[in-house]
Amino acid sequence: MPKVAIYPGSFDPVTNGHIDIVERGLKLFDKLIVSILYNPSKDYLFTLEERVEMLKDSMKKMKNIEIDSFDGLLVDYAASRKAQAILRGLRAMSDFEYEFQMALMNRRLNREVQTVFLMTGLRWIFTSSSIIKEAVQFGGNIEGMVPPLAQKKLMEKFGIAPGPGQSGKN
């Protein structure tokens, strides 16, 4: 039976830290389902369709990846997709506390689905979608922190013309 994991997130936008977790996760699992959580209580900068487009573009060269979306309980979604694991990235202790609580609740709800944590690569430890959005909003250069399409779309959302080192292209 193939080892399948769900890598859930809002991916608003996808970052190179997310890509790092996916690449490393593919070394552990036969297939990764990168799935966008729809949370009606959360405000997103990008539509679901835009986030799917950015994920597909940034992972187009990877094999054994599927891009999907879901709402509801993550463990129910994982079971419906026949996934044995949930893959999560950790950057800091604050991530660990929240993720540990979620993993324990998921384990309580479905003991068949395991949670696997990967430490974010040191290069991406400070990177989060929220921080990147704030940096772009105030004119910061985020080249190399997000895939090219995400950079381009972020700059468009905030009405910023590309400057030196901010092409939005590779």
Per-residue pLDDT tens digits for 102-133: 999 999 999 999 999 999 888 888 889 999 99
Q: Is the pLDDT of residue 168 over 70?
A: no
Give the residue-averaged pLDDT of 143-162.
91
CA dist 21 and 160 (Å) reads 29
Which own/partner pairs from 77-80 qualify as long-range (CB within 8 Å, at least 24 positions apart)? 77/6, 77/8, 77/35, 78/6, 78/110, 78/113, 79/110, 79/112, 79/113
Q: Is residue 30 in a domain?
A: yes
Q: Is residue 158 in a domain?
A: no
Q: Is residue 18 in a domain?
A: yes
Q: Residue 87 is part of which domain span?
A: 4-125
pLDDT band at 166 (very low <50, low <70, confident <90, very high): low
Is residue 18 part of the annotated active site? The answer reads yes
Is residue 169 part of the annotated active site? The answer reads no
Report the number of distinct structural domains present in the chain. 1
CB neighbourhood size of 44 (10 A): 16
Q: Is residue 8 in a domain?
A: yes
CATH number at residue 117: 3.40.50.620
Task: Write down how long the chain is.
Answer: 170
Q: Is residue 142 in a domain?
A: no
Give me the catalytic one of 24, 56, 81, 91.
91
Instruction: Provide the percentage of residues in the chain whose pLDDT is more than 90.
Output: 78
Burial 120-150 (b: 16+ CB within 10 A, else e): bbeebeebbbeebbeebeeeeebbebbbbbb
Structure pTM? 0.90
What per-residue confidence (pLDDT) applies to 170? 41
Q: Is residue 49 in a domain?
A: yes
Give me the catalytic one of 10, 35, 58, 129.
129
SS3 102: helix
Look at the block and give the residue holding tokens 């187009």: 60
What per-residue confidence (pLDDT) applies to 164? 56
Is residue 152 part of the annotated active site? The answer reads no
Under 8 Å between Cβ of 34 and 56:
no
Q: Is residue 133 in a domain?
A: no
What letter represents residue 4's amino acid? Answer: V
Q: Is residue 163 in a domain?
A: no
Single out the residue of 117, 118, 89, 112 nearest to residue 1, CA to CA. Answer: 112
